Structure 1
Amino acid sequence: MALPDHSGQKYSHDLLPGLLEPGTYAVDPGDDRPWEPRKPELEEHGVRLQMYGITGPPNRIGIAPGDVRGTVFIPERLGGCCCGWDGQYGPNLACAECGCPVATRVDDCGFWQVVWLEPDAVCPVAVDGPVQRVMDWTELPSTPPVDSRGFWSPVWEAAVAVALAHLLVVSGGRRVSLPDGPVAEAFRRAIDSLLPPGSPERHLVLAGPGLSAAITDIALAPKHPQTGEIWPCDAGTVVPLAADVWTYLAFNDDRRLMPAAYGMPAVVRRDDPPPLLPHTLFCPDGRVFLRTLERLTAVQQPWLRRIYDRVRDRPYIDPFS
């Protein structure tokens, strides 16, 4: 699978499900930031900033925790956590036969559960069985924006944050217009907060399987969940968005049903509750947004660096709170 946008996301204090489906794996290219954010004025006075983060060597292989076999925990690397282990002390799983560290299990509250295999400690082995089929573009999954409790989905918050970072880069600091509907609900508040006001100079349109291909400026296109490829189109610029979020934006009808005349009597008890509504305005994940910008060379441009610094220094400003 392609590495999900919410990999490494820290979300609330809830116990989150697995990052990957059983029987699948993803490769994390690692921390390959072309630019390292610093505050030199503080370091000159002997102050060193420490950022909380869980990183590892490049090309770690992520798998579902239930797919691990033949490992034991390393006790001295399991401390300092809350409801589980977050891997901040390095590999915490060792080979049950030789005792060498081979993987890091992450299952603490607020983290997507995953086991990261050390690339130098494992090797691929051929097995019998069918080759995984790559799904067609017409089979893309869909994830609703609101979970069963009525909260915004953390998958959406991460995916929109990643797309927002790419959208800012291609905008060049100019105002971007958005199509009305779910796309505007997900991105307009962020555009209003981060880009200067005025008449739009760039135009974002949904593009992808099942939609019109007449795009002349910026296309918001799906990213394949298995291959990581972006939907090919003839737009001047393409902004990738996680496929399951894109599919919902493109095809889900969020219009609310209204009672019709001569419909079901009011005294009749219904067994179909209305769709859940979120308790707050939608907010992209600010930490995912910053981490994405750090990996884009364009963040060194002065106008984008100012946006980065403003969000980093005030992480709870609009649109991230």
Structure 2
Amino acid sequence: MDVFACAGCGTELTAPVSRVALPVHTHHGGWEELHPPLMEPATYAVDPEPTGPPWRLWQEVGADAAARQGVFAPVYSVSFGARNRIVIAPGDSRSMTLIPGQCEGYCRGVDGRAGPNLACEGCGRAVATRMDDCGMWQTVWLEPEAVVRRPSGFPADPPPEWGDLERAEHRVPPVEPDGSWSRRWEAAVGVALAHLVAVTEDRPVNLPAGPVAELLGHAVGRYLPTGPGARSTGLAGPGIPLPQPLPDILLVPRHPLTGAPWRPPGDRAAVVPLDSGVWAYLAHPGETSPIPVTGVLPEGVLRDDYPLPPLPRCPLTPHRAAFEDTLVRLPAVRAPRLRRFRDAYRRAALH
């Protein structure tokens, strides 16, 4: 495990933490809602893309400079913030204090619009940004130039691997206890759909029967056309048999440590990466009883004496910003067919 310390005076700024993949829903929450922490306790992730201020208008930047920032289609503004910011749960922060005058927000918290708002208690250097306003997952972002990483002296837990996806606690249910769709699912589906649109170049697809079609069918129908010549899709990944015959497109998990998509042997098909917790639920839904039980039931017997959980009143809808932000960061969006798709999508969104 590691700790992050102030690069100026050496004060330790975090509890011991271990690296995991950056969650796909990091920058996408539900508007006018308070969210829980993004990161699990004792973990951290790194965002390789530029994030946060300063922001520059697309018209001032131009296509070439925007592409160097990882944006390949016109947007309102482009981030020229630091790359490789480190994100932790607020509860894992140490020895930092808010900077007066830097704590602006929309309505329910701080959003980091003015840059770093946390200073090292040891030397007063600006080192991090706390973000917890409505629509944001609660985070503390460490500035990469203001901190250094050191061994904590505590033994590290085994790094997460593909096998972790089969653990029940890794699965993310699509529905919250209050009966609304999971905000993580909404964002994850938006991100996956952007990859699916890019892979298919706005052509029809057929989803496999079962949970994939039931949960994602409405969302896919909103973004991709129907008709002849549809490309086939299938769920694939560690711990489940590879579909046969091999579909044109495989829905695969991201690695829980690196974030890289799983690849089939021989890499014979196009892949669309899914949030690992979402993929795990689709591949290993398991038993979903909300009521604790005692004793042991016979193998293969499931409880059926608990009420069904509440279900949302509308189909699962992708997070629009997650879809748009992901699509403009895929180089494939510059292809003529996808450029026409995005232009038509933007016109429809304005009406």
**What TM-score bracket applies, with the shorter chain setting the length?**
0.7 to 0.9
Aligned to 1:179: 208
What CA distance in whole angstroms lies between the structure 2 residues aligned with 1:310 and 1:26? 35
Report the more deviating stretch, 194-203 or 221-230.
194-203
1:307 aligns to what? 341
Structure 1 residue aligned with 2:30: 11
- Residue 246 of structure 1 aligns with which residue? 279
State the AA in 2 paired with 1:181.
Answer: G
Which residue is 1:288 aligned to?
322
What residue is the counterpart of 2:101 in the other structure?
76
Unaligned runs of 5+ in 1: 39-49, 256-269
CA 276–154 in structure 1, closer or farther in 2 if over 3 Å, else same: same
1:138 aligns with one of 146, 152, 163 = 163
* 1:41-120 correspondence to structure 2 within 5 Å: 56-120=81-145
Deviation of 1:54 after TM superposition, in Å, equals 8.0
Equivalent of 2:257, from 220, 226, 232?
A: 226
Alpha-carbon separation, structure 1, partners of 2:116 and 2:263: 39
Q: 1:33 aligned to 66, 70, 78, which one? A: 70
| Shift of residue 224, structure 1, vs aligned partner | 1.7
- Note the C-alpha offset of 1:313: 4.0
Structure 2 counterpart SS, 1:277: coil
What code does the residue aligned with 2:230 have?
A: E
| Alpha carbons 1:54, 1:88 under 8 Å: kept | no
CA distance in 2, matches of 1:108, 1:249: 31
Q: Is the 8 A contact 1:298 1:304 kept in 2?
A: yes
User: What is the rounded CA distance, in whole Å, between the counterparts of 1:271 and 1:196 in structure 2?
Assistant: 42
Q: 2:43 aligns with which of 12, 24, 46?
A: 24
Asked if the contact 1:160/1:186 (under 8 Å) is kept, the reply is: no
Alpha-carbon deviations, 1:116-154, whole Å to 9, x = none?
000000000122121231234232110000001100001
Q: Is the 8 A contact 1:286 1:315 kept in 2?
A: no
Residue 273 of structure 2 aligns to a residue whose secondary structure is: strand
Distance 2:128 2:337 in 1: 40
Residue identity matched to 2:193: L
CA spacing shift, 1:9–1:99, aligned 2, 3 Å: same
**TM-score, with length taken from structure 2:** 0.77
SS in 2 for 1:76: coil
Q: Deviations over 1:31-59 (max 9, x none)?
A: 33242415xxxxxxxxxxx55x9873111
Is 1:191 the counterpart of 2:220 in the alignment? yes
Does residue 1:128 correspond to 2:153, yes or no?
Answer: yes
What is the identity, as a one-letter code, of the residue corresponding to 1:88?
R
Distance 2:269 2:47 in 1: 29
CA deviations on 1:83-122 (whole Å, 9 max, x unpaired) are 1101111100011122211100001121100000000000
Corresponding letter in the other structure for 1:293: L
- Secondary structure at the aligned position of 2:81 is classed as coil
Q: Give the whole-Å Cα distance in 2 for the aligned partners of 1:252 and 1:96.
A: 46
Aligned residues: 292
The verdict on how the C-alpha distance between 1:194 and 1:180 changes in structure 2, with shifts beyond 3 A counting, is same
TM-score, length basis structure 1: 0.84
Match of 1:33, SS?
Answer: coil
What is the DSSP-based 3-state SS (H/G/I as helix, E as strand, rest coil) of the residue aligned with 2:151?
A: coil
Deviation, 1:253, is 6.4
Does the residue aligned with 1:77 lie in a helix, a strand or coil? coil
Deviates more, 1:58-67 or 1:232-241: 232-241
Give the letter for the 1:280 counterpart.
C
Distance in 1 separating the partners of 2:259 and 2:336 = 30
Match of 2:104, SS state, is coil
SS of equivalent residue, structure 2 residue 115: coil
> 3-state DSSP class of the match of 1:205?
strand
- Aligned-pair CA distance for 1:289: 0.4
Counterpart secondary structure, 2:119: strand
Q: Partners in 1 of 2:350 and 2:73 — Cα distance?
A: 22
Question: CA–CA distance in 2 between the matches of 1:205 and 1:288?
Answer: 23
Whether contact under 8 Å (1:290, 1:312) holds in the other structure is: no
